[in-house]
Amino acid sequence: MIGIVIVSHSKQLALGVRELAAQMVQNQVPIAVAAGIEDPENPLGTDPIQVYEAIASVYSDNGVLVLMDLGSALLSAEMAIEFLPEAQQQKVYLCEAPLVEGAIAAVVAAAAGRDIHQVMAEARGALLAKATQLGVVSRPLSLVTPTTTNVESPTREIRLIVSNRLGLHARPAAQFVVTATRFQSQIFVQNLTRNTELVRGDSINQVTTLGVRQGHELVITATGADADEALAALQALFANNFGEDNVALNSPPAFHHEFTPGTRGELAGIAASPGVAIAPVVHYQPTHISITQYHVENVELEWQRLQAAIHIAKQEIQAVFSQASLQIGDAEAAIFDAQLLFLEDPVLLEAAKERIFKNHLNAEAAWQAVVDEVATSYRTLEDSYLQERVDDVVDVGQRVLRLLVGNADANLHLEEPAILVATDLSPSNTARLDPKKVLGICTTSGSATSHSAIIARTLGIPAVLGIDAQVLHLADGTLMALDGESGRAWVEPESHILDLLTAKQEAWQTAQQQAQATAHQPAITLDGRQVSVFANIGSISDVQVAVANGAEGVGLLRTEFLYLDRTSAPTEEEQLAVYQAIAQVLDNRPLIIRTLDVGGDKPLPYLRVGFPEANPFLGWRGIRFCLDHLDLFKTQLRAILRASVGHQIKIMLPMIASVTEVRAAKVILGEVQAELNQAGISFDAGMKVGIMVEVPAAVAIADQLAAEVDFFSIGTNDLSQYVMASDRTNPRVANLVDALHPAVLRMVQQTIQAAHAAGISVGLCGELAADTLATTILLGLGLDELSVNPQSIPGVKQAIARLNIVESEAIVASALQQDSAEDVRELISTSVIPPA
């Protein structure tokens, strides 16, 4: 493969050019940068040794093309060539082509397999497309004249209307050219709408000069033995909108993706759990429970039947919880505590009993009716947290029904490793999966933030959700491959797809092993900046896993687990014992304890709010709830303060939206401290107090809040929803909820700038922190700390060690100017090139 070297006085400029060029060909062409000098006060300049090293890093006998900007760049490049062995000097070419356009044209030609002279010719003609569109020059006839073809070869022709939003701009044009060059046939294309001449389909410059926009009609011809195959491949690109999001303006985004002909057997879905799986498919279909409604005379006996089924269901859920705690940890297993609470809900039980006694309904019909009512009420609220709870309601409801009708549980027993294909998986089903046998999950529905998806990620099972329902018709044993990171699956994948995925799978496994080996080392960037990597936890067992994985502290202790699955609030002594036990495991590492974050979307059964909330996520929760329950709040603060003796414990307040709330909480904290002093009880008088930044109001007044507290922690899960005003589980808007959206990133940047201006630290504890693709963005934004789930710590540390702050800051500057989260991800994937 031909190598490309970009020489510039400005490192940021050169990195930007490389980033843009790499996007054109998905990193298929080696591109090296030699730019700037190591002088912080005057970084502009060129260094011949840098250029020499860049050439050497991409050198091949096919040739190296060097593109330069002005002045000394050319001199440095000429001098660098002199350092090479004489045999290599003959294969390095300096090109006068324009830097940006020339680099794009060159990489596309190189990716298409052109020789070095053809690549140089494309680079030199790169300004033609721009000049033609601006009307500065007319298209030279010599460039568009079709070459002589074999008259015996068939010529085929297709006409199509361009539908993707921006037409054949740079990336689609590059895909068109690369696809055209895969075939022996000669490809020509004409823009009928603009009445252009025929141009060669294997020339990026000529295809770009067609000026193709959405709605234009093209005619594409192919002459050669494989003409039909070539046109089919090109037509598939247009049918798939060149892989770009192309939702019509008057039509909301759809949740399920259609089959696309871009790659045979390729399916697009929702990325839910990272990793690659390649295995035969096995369908999972839960046992259908059919119930019949009928009249009963002995209502007491019917009520006893239902109570017995509920009692057994509780025992089963307890067993699932115990197994899940060992396999996925207490924090994720806590969802089954919620299922137990559901079965103990007096309102639910009274409603079922009333149907049995008043309407003389059989237990099955009465139970189904009340479960359906509860599920419908959750769906009607259209709140993200409650939407996800519907899965748990249905899960526990089906468990009781199965026991009532006497159906056996539909356990999955796999003889050989397989990819599980299903309509959906309940949390109970997912928690029972064996990662050694279930290599991947592919469902036609589901949400990436559902409990089932969270469990799959914790188990390390790759998962793609929301796949087209046609997948349910595949025969068991059909070979499937899926990539849980990109959200794609392939049915009977072609050999080149298998090769790519196998390589990615092996790289993933190697990276995991390497990350684990260095997990206990500090996370230090290539240019020497250390970033703290903490853990998000929800139990004592979580902190043990975190320390084993190299956590440098706990950035978020969710205390809600202490308050759930009980009939009264935990006492001060109960909380003190837990906080001390966790601090003991941390062995003087920092421990940030978030005060109780319930209410609204996470109600406590023993505290009645007195009225339903139509939108709990915007309701009475977090600090708002605690300020209205001072006894509850003070009890927790006393326990935290008492546990702080001899440990690095900090307090963090959730759901802060105003300075008044912070000051009110600090007054209460002061009262508790005064009470402890009066009682002669020791505590850390200098314990730091911080806040969660998770609502836009907090970002807007971050400078004022920073004057009140000692640190910030950004919660991107909630912040993304609030900024985008979108429910993550609503299929019509779920695609908008993405923490990498430039609007969210700008909020994060504003928060960090305000914190640092006030001299306080700022961390991030949302799921974004665990996404290693986003690590370069988070470093470039200037975060001091990342707090992630315990299993992600090794990978995040490894990602930090592969980056440097200067390049990360340059990527952030570009990311903040992008149009969408998808554009940001593409920018990152083509910019971050880990060192060998």
Contact 656, 623 (CB under 8 A): yes
* Longest CA pairwise span in the chain (Å): 102
64 closest CA partner among 13, 7, 149: 7
For 60-130, strand residue ranges (E) read 64-68, 92-95
Round to whole Å and give the CA distance between 566 and 328. 22
- Looking up tokens 């990026």 gives 204
Q: Which of 95, 442, 626, 765 is catalytic?
A: 765
335 closest CA partner among 319, 327, 344, 324: 324
428 closest CA partner among 469, 382, 395, 387: 395
Give the pair of three-digit tokens for residue 2.
């031909």
Give the pair of three-digit tokens for residue 241.
């909108």
**Helix then strand then coil, % of the chain, to nearest 5:** 50, 15, 35
Distances (CA, A) of 596 to 106, 140, 569, 743, 746: 58, 72, 11, 29, 28
Q: Which of 95, 216, 442, 451 is catalytic?
A: 451
Round to whole Å and give the CA distance between 325 and 331. 8
451-459 and 384-405 helices, crossing angle to 10°: 90
Burial of 225 (0-12, 13-18, 19+ CB in 10 A): middle
Sign of CA dihedral 269, 271, 272, 273: positive
349 three-class SS? helix
168 three-class SS? coil
492 closest CA partner among 504, 478, 506: 478
The CA-based angle 719-723-724, given to 5 degrees, is 120
Checking 57-62 for CB contacts under 8 A at 24+ apart, the result is 57/3, 57/30, 57/32, 58/3, 58/4, 58/5, 58/30, 58/31, 58/32, 59/3, 59/88, 59/91, 59/92, 60/1, 60/2, 60/3, 60/30, 61/91, 62/1, 62/2, 62/91, 62/115, 62/116
Round to whole Å and give the CA distance between 780 and 793. 19
For 131-198, strand residue ranges (E) read 155-161, 186-191
- DSSP state string for 435-459: TTTEEEEEESS--TTSHHHHHHHHH
Question: Which residues make Cβ contacts (< 8 Å) with residue 623, sequence separation at least 6?
Answer: 595, 653, 654, 655, 656, 661, 665
473 in catalytic set: no
647 in catalytic set: no
Question: Which residues make Cβ contacts (< 8 Å) with residue 506, sequence separation at least 6?
Answer: none
383 three-class SS? coil
The 10 Å Cβ neighbour count of residue 137 is 11
Round to whole Å and give the CA distance between 759 and 754. 9
742-757 and 805-815 helices, crossing angle to 10°: 130
- Looking up tokens 């707090």 gives 787
Sign of CA dihedral 558, 564, 567, 573: negative
Contact 760, 706 (CB under 8 A): yes
- Looking up tokens 């096919």 gives 62
Burial of 427 (0-12, 13-18, 19+ CB in 10 A): buried
For 23-123, strand residue ranges (E) read 31-35, 64-68, 92-95
743 closest CA partner among 725, 766, 769, 767: 725
- The set of catalytic residues is 451, 765
